[in-house]
Amino acid sequence: MTPYPLSKSDTSTKVLITLFMLTMLAAFSVAELNVYDKMGRLKGGVVRRYGPDATAADTPRPVGTDSATSDTELAGASGEVENLPFEDEASAARVNSFTALLDATHPHVFELPVVMLVLAHFLMRTRAARWVKLSNYVGSFGGIIVFLSAPWLVRYASVKTAPLLYVGAASIGLSALTMIAICITDLWVPQPARVTVATQPQTIVVEQV
């Protein structure tokens, strides 16, 4: 079934959809800012937040350190945790236990796909080319998978996978921004009129001999 064109909606529907799109734009902007605040502005922020805890076996002991030295002191001595202002320490809070990761993933794994599905539904009703629609579908849902998988990979696979979180966040943000911009443009920019060329029926003249 071909979806009803977005551009043919009545004015009240256009206003409603536009307000929704602008609200979504604000929501994704806040979400991207949150990623930057929690991890992006800190060196190694993803690893700080989701990386595995340093153990005594992994952390070299400085010469003269007593064997009873706490893990926190060892982490500070090894340079894993730098001296940060109180506000930065709070934003870099550790979320690296199985339960904490599950609590962080659980709401997002429901919310993000639903929001993207709504945006994709509106994009489906626009005049955008098929390749534009498909690339945004793949970019948005692929970004969700990468973004939600990154903390688990950093914690249980390798800290080298940390950049995947930023890749996923960028893919989600770019896809959402593109879909919102296309939908709003399609709503309010008139569709160009189609030029139809009328063809006159040909008259066949039969000469009688």
DSSP state, residue 63: T
Task: Give 17's contacts (C-beta < 8 A, 6+ positions apart).
Answer: 6, 9, 122, 183, 187
Task: Judge residue 192's burial from the number of C-beta atoms within 10 Å of its C-beta, 0-12 exposed, 13-18 middle, 19 or more buried.
Answer: exposed
Q: What is the predicted pLDDT for the residue at 203?
A: 55
- How do residues 42-62 score in pLDDT, each as one tens digit? 888 999 999 998 764 444 444
Residue 140 contacts residue 176 (beta carbons within 8 Å): yes
pTM (two decimals):
0.76
Q: What is the pLDDT of residues 121-179, one digit of tens each?
A: 999 999 999 999 999 999 999 999 999 999 999 999 999 999 999 999 999 999 999 99
Structure tokens at 113: 């796909």
